[in-house]
Structure 1
Amino acid sequence: MDPIFILSDKERNIHFKEIVHFYNVILGDANNSADGNHFETIRCCIIDYKDPEETVSAANAIRAFHPQLPLLIITDMKSAVHDKHLLRITGVGGIRLLHWNANYPDKLLTDIQSLLHPEYPAQSAHIAFVLSVYNEEERFAYVESFCRKLQEYIRTHVIEGSLYLIDDGSGDRTIELIQTLEKDTTLSINRINRDVSPLLNAKELGRNTRKAGTYLEGMKEIEADYFVFVDADDSFFIEDIARMINIVRLGYYDMITGTKDTSAENRPLVRIGLSFCKRLMIKPFLPEGVIDSQTGLKVLNSIAVKRLFPHLKENLGLAVDLEMMYIAKKLRLRVLQLPVACIDREGSHIHVWKDSIRFLKSIADIWRLDRRIR
């Protein structure tokens, strides 16, 4: 039987051993939650504390020893665990939030099943990871490394997920390299949904659009429940991506966007100064709580993608990120911004001064073309 570790203050009086009787239940408490010996064989952990702060502490104590261990967090309407608590939980393993109702104890079983078996057909959702690539021949080692990390994350935690590398009109051998990577990638897991795309897909846009066209191509051609738009140069970390996916799948937000303005490593002072000036100018265009539109990491649900797509314009280039934020604000989508770790890689295709001038012009275009959207 699959061993399941349970941490509980027993305030909700949940009879775990009776409800999940066909699992090997190991009961613990806050005093031994940090003992790494418990996590050598267990498959998932249930955390049942009334106090949300105790929940976060226990979750992080567990994740310190086993960052990939799936967590089922039990809460209720009176002492609810919110996104502000979930954002503080570390690790890359899946997280599910169960609002406990004693009248529906079997919901506990369903959620355990979905954690232990991500391919569980009633719970699985397809996640599309869309990576824009452009003239990456000299930096392809970064692209290949990032794809390997994402593939491992998909195989372990997502199952019904695929990578889409969209070439933005490269003038070097980038398209050949990603097509070779596609041919060399095999799916080593059995998916319930036979209609999903292969694990890795190489697509060629045929023209350079400064990223905007790759967003539109992904939104138009890919069928998925969730979309992850992320730079391909291995500048972002899987833990941050997993955290954003875990949050958006809870249903509280339509879009989660990252910001690296306060966390990027190796960032030139010029870019820091320009980013500060841009934030001041674009503030009226951004949803409440969002301070930065240009960080290349976003997670959207399919509803947000369908509502944004008709309004996005390919000729805006890099400013398409700002247009997404502005349209999301006009359409009153639920948007959350999170700080993410980032490494600015050498060889970036951003031309600081030239692109800054284009961006200023794009701000005026976005206001002129999109201000009447309702």
Structure 2
Amino acid sequence: MLGYLGRLVVALLMVTGVSFAANDYSDSRDNRVYRVIRTGPLNWFTGNLSYKEGASLVVRNRAFYAPKVWDKACPENTRIPSWQDWEVLIKDQFIGARKKQNMRSFVGAPAGFYEIGVGENKQVGPEVGYFAVSDAQNRAIMLDLNRGMYSEIPVTDNMALTVRCVGDYDPLEEMNISRNKMVFTDPRDGKKYKVELRDSTKVWMKQNLRYNLTSAKQCFLEDSVFCKRHGRFYTYDEALKACPKGWHLPNDGEWRDYQKDQSKLDWDNLGRGGCRDWDEYCDESNTGHYWSSTSVEKNTGRAWEFRRQARSINRTDESVQKGLYVRCVADVK
């Protein structure tokens, strides 16, 4: 549960039309984008489904769906919420002094439902929100905007209702990581990084950070080709602020955990790129040097050196002015 503060934030975001979740949902069938909010383990569309080709009725650009099409109405990886899903949403958001306002903001302009298939289509309860429910009891939910209350109503085959879709909350998607490709897109510059999930609690970049903080001096031999190939060098102070929001420079303990099973390390990736040692450079072909956030001596930072050919690791304390690589890590919430 979000608690009082969480409900207040959700209410304000609903009123202003801003998405609460990090990622909106794009329906590949018609490329329509839906904003979402997170409640419990689910992401909820904040607007009614508007996939017109799958609708039973379209009135004034609004789509309504009869029970026979409910199972195929929502986009891929989403579904019509169950009664239990609705109750979680209501308990989480439609309580307290703002429950009416929150409910009105969620429903938007109510449209009631339509009786279809016999003569002229008849609209029922245009001032009330009616939504489909996915269970075996042939029922829908009615949201009474005037009282801030809800109730169930029986559903027949000739009723067409509005639909809200839900999808399972995915913490990786919230972190701007593609679950299928395991690729993170840095929102600051659009650069993409392969990532891996470790122990279900941390996500590590599998590539060195390439975010530009200063100049070509961050590249091996001051050649931008090497920045693309190996990533950028950072001083210790630069490294502490280089990672994207929500990510951080790993500390010494996190690096210890990372390299425990050395048989699983990508040595050909980790053990390349060298380092910048003042006006000199380390072995680019066989070593890779990385900062941790830990500092145990003045003007030094803890560093980890991976040696590709020897398959060995060396932990040292380096001058804060040296140029080493950065691997960012994020905690999975």
Q: TM-score range by the shorter chain?
A: under 0.3
For normalisation by structure 1, the TM-score amounts to: 0.19
**Greater strand share, 1 or 2?**
2
Looking at CA atoms only, which structure, 1 or 2, has the larger radius of gyration? 2
For normalisation by structure 2, the TM-score amounts to: 0.21
**Greater helix share, 1 or 2?**
1
